[in-house]
Structure 1
């Protein structure tokens, strides 16, 4: 006997509103989804997977990232060991162009179609943009792969220059809810980040914007963050889970419980039914192998393979084997979801 739909049940609401109509949950509805009890978590994840299949399709986008300039950042993002303001083990390092090209080659060999060049800076100067331009040209001479960048806050001239280089996607995370942001970063504002995203979108680049869960935000703020992102309308949302780094202000925070992280994955999918939702940093520590599998069947449709900027990830082969076991096809280069 089928269960009668309950107009007050958030999963029944989501089935009609999100799965059938493609309209994401609003803030109050996301908050309700984050409150789904453990005994209904599998039902929530299954619904999020249905939404992903209905509005994004079965393909998984695979991406690799590399840091062109690591450490020494002047900003005080409390989660980040690359800040020059904290006593962390990370030291300032610059990657040369041949190493960048080799990283792109290895990324392409893993099956990834996206290669993101990252630099730990407040904003790029002309010298850094020159290095990025040289790196992109060298990569294109050796390997066919889509290139994204994450270089901090931009002005219009810098946005235009990146467009001219052929950068198709720009990552700039809002990191957390607007109301919680001052507890995470004090050296720049949430609005400054949003302004960069607006310029990127208006210039025709795809917007990649996500953040980190488990930094001490409340469930209300987690719901706020999901709908903040929905308002930005990003092409892609990378979901990170805090991996507390020694020497940072958040270094002593507890790791987010796996069930809480999975509820968030599903809730963000229900808020963003048409968006690429990418597993990013911290998933190995927070979810482990079983949780990663549950997340892939709970709304995720993209992964970063290999290592992250300052932390180790899973071997690329392990993620690719997982996708194969789940019969999830990898998105082909230049295809669309």
Structure 2
């Protein structure tokens, strides 16, 4: 069923959800209808999207804890990033943290109820010393705290991906960020194809792929839809959706004219496109969803708890209260 604009009513979204629940895939045109729907349709979109979310994930929420293991010092020119070589933002700059720091953060992640510990470095890709540090710390964290490990280390080759799998990394994060068409407006020091190739190495190594994007970088609705379909077709298991925080000192300073309703429609569209994938509300949710943050969990089933790489997040206690108020429950790691 392909719908056109004159056919759009508030019952349209439930019809689309029913099709998805029956095993059909929505089209790119239908995804655009969700993304560009009138704001007054948001309650109906979320209600329909919740039926898909509930079918695959019930009322559970997975918590993820982000650890910046190496900050700043990045040779890439990603225009959104405060750690890039073209950024003048005042961010901490340090090389790979020592074992004790990484273990202390893992303990904090476990205490906050996180299922996944996300180990992130600022780099084009890991050097040998950084690879060795990850290989040493991952088994220790998993044994002591039972956390799943997601590594975000930049571009990877096949050998590096195989080594991460061998040391116990569960998944690797490497975001597509936007569409292939729009990518050159976001970064020029590597390509969209480079990012796709890293994900293919991760998939071939037998790890889960974590990859999503950023909304608010002057992309068109078609770019957001294209990214969603690319992620689905790559078989990405976990999709973090960020909302640009336009950090002073970066090339994208002053961008991101987002509204809460626009963010909610984007989250819902990804749920319709990738119904059985972990969908995570990520950076910028506090800034752009604001008082409507809880509504995002009617379609997303995952979120970060605590701070992000160089920006502050909502207090963990407030996040847990939000989940409890919704009548949802936190998924605990069973590894």
**Contact between 1:89 and 1:246, CA under 8 Å: does it hold in 2?**
no
- Residues 267-276 or 127-136, more deviating: 127-136
| SS of structure 2 residue aligned to 1:311 | coil
Number of aligned pairs? Answer: 327
**Contact between 2:243 and 2:284, CA under 8 Å: does it hold in 1?**
yes
Aligned to 2:201: 199
How far apart, in 1, do the equivalents of 2:25 and 2:113 lie? 31
How far apart, in 2, do the equivalents of 1:141 and 1:53 lie? 32
**Contact between 1:70 and 1:82, CA under 8 Å: does it hold in 2?**
yes
The reply to whether residue 304 of structure 1 matches residue 304 of structure 2 is: yes
Alignment of 1:1-337 (within 5 A): 8-9=7-8, 10-18=12-20, 20-94=21-95, 95-288=97-290, 290-297=291-298, 299-334=299-334
**Contact between 1:27 and 1:226, CA under 8 Å: does it hold in 2?**
no
Q: Deviations over 1:108-136 (max 9, x none)?
A: 11111110100011111111111112222
**Contact between 2:121 and 2:152, CA under 8 Å: does it hold in 1?**
yes
How far apart, in 2, do the equivalents of 1:24 and 1:250 lie? 34
Could you say what the CA RMSD is over the residues aligned between the two structures, in angstroms? 1.6
How far apart, in 2, do the equivalents of 1:186 and 1:67 lie? 24
| SS of structure 1 residue aligned to 2:80 | coil
**Contact between 1:79 and 1:249, CA under 8 Å: does it hold in 2?**
yes
Q: Deviations over 1:150-204 (max 9, x none)?
A: 0011111101110111001110000011111110011001011001111111211
Gaps of 5+ in 2: none
| SS of structure 1 residue aligned to 2:162 | helix
Q: In structure 2, do the counterparts of structure 1 residues 59 and 7 end up closer, same or farther at CA, with 3 Å as the change threshold?
A: farther
Alpha-carbon distance, 1:12 to partner: 4.7
Gaps of 5+ in 1: 1-5
| SS of structure 2 residue aligned to 1:147 | strand
Alpha-carbon distance, 1:13 to partner: 4.1
Alpha-carbon distance, 1:7 to partner: 10
